[in-house]
Structure 1
Amino acid sequence: MSTVPTRKRNRRGEGGKLREEIIDAALALLDEHGDERAVTLRSVARQVGIAAPSIYPHFPDQPAIMLAVVHREMDRLADELRAAADAAEGPRPRLFAVCHAYLDLAHTRPSRYRIMFGGLWMPTLGTSSITEEDMDSLGAAALQVLVDVLDECVRAGEATSDSLFSDAVALWLGLHGLAHQRAVVRKFPWPDDIAERVIGGLARLRPPG
């Protein structure tokens, strides 16, 4: 008969710590198995070292855990894109740095990327605790980083966008398409500058002076 690993109880007022540990456990299972089906209430409970019912005060079901995972990774993406922008100097280099940071995430954390954008996880609304409103803001902060760096390029006269939001969305879709195709068509002879071509074209950059 299997037993639940022992875990030191949180002190009073530390319930939020257990919630974060549950998300950590779900991410660890996702990284290990590359499949959201490995993330169940039982497997997460074993990973944390608690009984499965201890999850319910924090998450009503498995989709709620997965939504928390996606929210955390979206926040991480936005933070990494901002950091990439801050580390570069000049509007054009900041735009390219942000776009390459996005592509790097897709390459280095493929399971997490597929959960965020690749359709590996998509809740069925109405059959779980997740509502349409829960999904509305996903990715908004990361998209805003793209809007901001594109705006810098326009203000500097390096891009011709007349609709920042629309062109930022188009750029995001182009980056996602490139990331996806690189992952599934690995033998294709990708041009060395394909990312630069995609970024430059969709961001409507002027040729370098």
Structure 2
Amino acid sequence: MQSNSADQRPRNRRGEGSRLRDEIVQAAADLLDEGVNEDGISLRAVARQVGIAAQSIYAHFPDRDTILLEVVKNAFTELGTHLSRATLPAEGSTVEGSAVDSLSALCDAYLSFALERPRRYRILFGGVWDASRAKSSPAVGDEVETLGQDVFGMFVSALDRCVSEGSSTSTDTYADAAALWVGIHGYASVRPATPEFRWPDDVVRRIVYGLAKI
């Protein structure tokens, strides 16, 4: 007689419940990376991916939306790490680049993440769940409102530095950083859907310099 998936996974030892929690979140992320749409991310599907009974999830998450919230938070953390690495000075260099160079590197890194990892990028911006609906869940609450703020803060800081350097004429870096983020996001979303369009070689520079008022 063939055993079910829940029987195939060894039980966590005492104190290892957090590992199962992480595995549940990773399982949902893996399903999304494989192209499963939002409707396919059920508790049963996630449990099957992990190799546990669906009821076991309730010890860690009250519903699907709280699992997806963790998936989105982790994806933003990945994006933030990717951006941070791209904007660090070159190894061994003692010369700090210009503020414009740093802002350009930040935007290039953002686009590389979006274009090279389209399914993971899709997780970030409502392609996975209904954030408005999730916000009504007591288990999710106001956490939805803070998603992505750390990443957005990187754009604001980079533009602040451009202003301090005298290379940007922005008088409201928060608003202009928001416009820049929307512009870069728009390009990241449109580019894969229009493979035959003849994009100008300097289109990214035009977006960044125009919206950052450089």
Structure 1 match to 2:195: 186
The C-alpha deviation readout for 1:32-67, integer Å capped at 9, x for no partner, is 125222321111111111111111111111111111
Structure 2 match to 1:93: 101
Structure 1 match to 2:41: 39
Structure 2 match to 1:28: 30
Aligned counterpart in structure 1 of residue 73 of structure 2, from 71, 75, 82: 71
| Gaps in structure 2 of 5+ consecutive residues | 91-96
Counterparts of 1:172 and 1:137 in 2: how far apart (Å)? 16
Query: Quick check: 102-111 or 124-133, which moved more?
Result: 124-133
Please say if residues 29 and 39 of structure 1, whose CA atoms lie closer than 8 Å, have aligned partners that are also in contact.
Answer: yes
Counterparts of 1:73 and 1:126 in 2: how far apart (Å)? 18
Partner SS state of residue 14, structure 2:
coil
Please say if residues 36 and 120 of structure 1, whose CA atoms lie closer than 8 Å, have aligned partners that are also in contact.
Answer: yes
Read off the aligned partner of 1:52 and give its amino acid letter.
A
1:147 aligns with 2:156: yes
Displacement of 1:118 in angstroms is 4.9
Structure 2 match to 1:3: 4
Read off the aligned partner of 2:19 and give its amino acid letter.
K
TM-score by structure 1 length? 0.90
1:158 aligns with 2:167: yes
1:105 aligns with 2:113: yes
Displacement of 1:2 in angstroms is 6.7
Cα 1:118–1:200 change in 2 (3 A) is farther
Displacement of 1:90 in angstroms is 2.5
Read off the aligned partner of 1:107 and give its amino acid letter.
L
The C-alpha deviation readout for 1:123-151, integer Å capped at 9, x for no partner, is 42476455441211001000011111111
Structure 1 match to 2:16: 14
Displacement of 1:185 in angstroms is 2.1
Displacement of 1:108 in angstroms is 1.4
Query: Quick check: 83-92 or 7-16, which moved more?
Result: 83-92
Alignment RMSD, CA only? Answer: 1.9
Please say if residues 76 and 147 of structure 2, whose CA atoms lie closer than 8 Å, have aligned partners that are also in contact.
Answer: yes
Cα 1:165–1:81 change in 2 (3 A) is same
Please say if residues 34 and 111 of structure 1, whose CA atoms lie closer than 8 Å, have aligned partners that are also in contact.
Answer: no
| Gaps in structure 1 of 5+ consecutive residues | none
Counterparts of 1:76 and 1:193 in 2: how far apart (Å)? 27
Displacement of 1:120 in angstroms is 4.0
Counterparts of 1:134 and 1:49 in 2: how far apart (Å)? 29
Counterparts of 1:154 and 1:200 in 2: how far apart (Å)? 13
Structure 2 match to 1:167: 176
Displacement of 1:71 in angstroms is 0.7
The percent of aligned pairs where both chains have the same amino acid is 45
Aligned counterpart in structure 1 of residue 50 of structure 2, from 41, 45, 48: 48
Read off the aligned partner of 2:198 and give its amino acid letter.
P
